[in-house]
Chains A and B, each alone.
Chain A
Amino acid sequence: MSNEARSPYLPIPMHVLHAYYESTDRSLKTLELSFDDPQDAREFFAAFNPGQFCLLSVIGKGESALGVASAAWEGDFVRFTAQKLGSVTNALHELKPGDPIGMRGPLGNGFPLEDWKGKDLVIIGGGCAFSTLYALTKHLHHPSNRGDYGKLTVIYGTRTSGLCMYKQDIAAWHQRDDMEVHQAIDVPEQDWLHHVGYVPDVVKEVSPSPVNSVAVVCGPPIMTKFTLPALVELGFTPETIFTSLEKRMKCGVGKCGRCNLGPKYICKDGPVFSLAELNALPADL
């Protein structure tokens, strides 16, 4: 790039490194993208923080906002998992290794990792919204980061075992001695060794301690709606409960207007908010 600042609407040129299905029903596909220009990679990782998102561009189809599902230490690539839902995500599912793709980001604030240092972390996810929590967990696993935080508990629920993302990694997490993992599915399945039930109920069952703890919740609206009060009941204060929000987005940089929640824009001021912040904003989700 010249010294002229990059337009916030101009995607970074990328290409697909790996593309593979994440769920057995093929509704979720993971794309790992690498940078055409190494300078772009340096700038991206200098700014990147887990919890941020990007706008992926399939030229001729449009853009779609997706949370980053990888940690910086994993390598010079960026991982996303897309649910096949609209025209852009359908096009994303068609992509093959080597295909060109545009990416704008990293966008948004990400998780306030500095503020969380020295605290126990309770990470609660549901469905495909687990992607940024996966990035967060991977980030914490790095030896140079793990020591900054206390006990790590992950609670992850999906409708069925087939919809569980990042299966191999999560299976390996059960063997780690520096974290606790609780997986759940909604209805019983043969050979399922973990929890059965909805995430808010699993949270109550696991009953993480609120003492010097922070809880992070990402999931479908219905899960979040019932998980937040469950955490409050366990003694977590609104300042120690965080969630990541989503709304329809176009620009990703606080200009196109549509993702506002009162005076805040989810793209620019979020997507991560504490429950205390959300309580002061109108319920316009």
Chain B
Amino acid sequence: MPTALDAIAALKGKWVGVKDRASLDHPAINVPAADLLAVLGSLKADHGFDMLTDVSGVDWAIGTSPRFSVVYHVFSTTGHEYVRVSVDCADDAKPQVPSAAGLWPGADWHEREAFDMFGITFAGHPDLRRILMWDGYPYHPLRKDFPLAGIETELPDAEVTAETKVGAIAAPMMGGPFVASSGELNMTDAEPRAKDESWTERRPKPDA
């Protein structure tokens, strides 16, 4: 029974851009965006990784480059192994990778979610629009520059906003849970509890 490590060795022999990726559990590789579909297709067709279980966007912090990555987890329903495939988005301002929806129809929703949350576009996606937030929502909430409290926006239904003069109000953070971000501040420094006091209800929010 060929294993995930054999598959990765074969992939590395075929595409020079495929590199090992540090991982604490499953075998993992970094793939250049140009080779992504070929590598995923080969994993699926030649190595039995027939199920795409997860597609996840990652924001590696403001100011790093590459800032965005897309991480795929493929699973073999016969060999019962995972392989993690990560692809970096070359352009930090307009992150884009090719869409895997042609290989797995299940990738459709996962990629819509990554687009919704991170603003990563997937070239060749059949129907790339928001999935969890509403159409017309102006932000990508899982980006690291989006505040936890949220940003006030108009409600999706313009008529309701006009009638009630109420938008989607940012969450009040005073007295909220501990708020700190990994790597930025430790918990002690992050007190008082609001991560950024300029976002509380007492002070006006800066323009979005």
Are the chains A and B members of one assembly? no
